[in-house]
Amino acid sequence: MRRRWTDWLGALYAALLYGFIFLPVGVLVLFSFQSGRFPIPPFNGPSLKWYQAVFADSSLTDALVNSLVVALSSSALACVLGFLSAYGLARYKLPAAGFQRALIIAPFTVSYLIIGLGLLITFNTFGVSRSLFTVGIGHVVINTPLCFAIIYSQIGDHQVNIERAARDLGASDLKVMALITAPMLAPAIAASYFLSFTFSWDEFIIAFLLSRFEVTLPVEIWSLLRSGLNPKTNAVGSIVFLFSVFILVVLEFTVFRKHKRN
């Protein structure tokens, strides 16, 4: 009897917990199908007219494309930099290796606001005008430590002999890295790429500080919100959410599954 009672309590707790996490998302998605003018109860619909409005609004679709471009390219660069620094620190004896490692990870602990402001001041000093390019650089700065940490954790001594075998069979250092080390670390590299992508995809503060005419989606949504609540914002939000879910599913089915098998 007692066991059943605690089970019930546990289920209630789980329901509350998941409700707390997902209710806002659920409400957001639900009211994106609202057919009235306000995303508030009562719900009357469903209707796809706000999705239609999103795709008819060129500033929103432009922002969506901008976000994609920034996320895809900045994550790729962050991965390359993260991999190279992890490889260097794992395979070579460098002066003050511990300090250098700490220095790479340091941006992790600094708030995005500080990084954004710092970059803004730097770009102003050197006369670099704000654009999608500067936003991308900002995202590389915040994501490189992440890529480094993930990849570095997976580089171990167990791969040293394998790299040595490749060198013994005639591979140059560059070929060892490209044909042996990187493919062996593919799961870690892919995981860090997708994580960087999602971080870049919904990052607001740096994108806001470092962009000017071309903006990313979070910045566009923010300016949309300033003109008041509107089911269109719900529709955009739902699209962003759908995208994140898609990446998560891809990640689950490719990278993590492969990881388990090995």
Q: How far is the CB of 70 from other proteins (least distance, A)?
A: 31
- The footprint of other proteins on this chain (CB under 8 A) covers a number of residues equal to 17
Please write down the HEC assignment for all residues of 115-152.
HHHHHHHHHHHCCCCCCHHHHHHHHHHHHHHHHHHHHH
Q: Is 156 in the site for other proteins (CB under 8 A)?
A: no
Closer CB to other proteins, 114 or 162, in the complex: 162
Other CB atoms within 10 A of residue 150 CB: 23
Closer CB to other proteins, 142 or 180, in the complex: 180
* End-to-end Cα, the chain, rounded Å: 44
Contact string 217-256 vs other proteins (x = CB under 8 A): ----------------------------------------
Q: How far is the CB of 179 from other proteins (least distance, A)?
A: 8
Other CB atoms within 10 A of residue 99 CB: 9
What SS3 state is found at 115? helix
Length of the chain as a residue count: 262
* Listed ranges 126-134, 169-177, 190-198, 230-238: which one lies at the site for other proteins (CB under 8 A): 169-177
Q: Is 262 in the site for other proteins (CB under 8 A)?
A: yes
The Cα–Cα gap between 254 and 262 comes to 13
What SS3 state is found at 200? helix
Q: Is 1 in the site for other proteins (CB under 8 A)?
A: no
The Cα–Cα gap between 123 and 247 comes to 32
Closer CB to other proteins, 69 or 177, in the complex: 177
* DSSP code, position 155: -
Contact string 173-192 vs other proteins (x = CB under 8 A): --x----x--xx-x------
Binding site for other proteins (CB under 8 A): 161-162, 164-172, 175, 180, 183-184, 186, 262
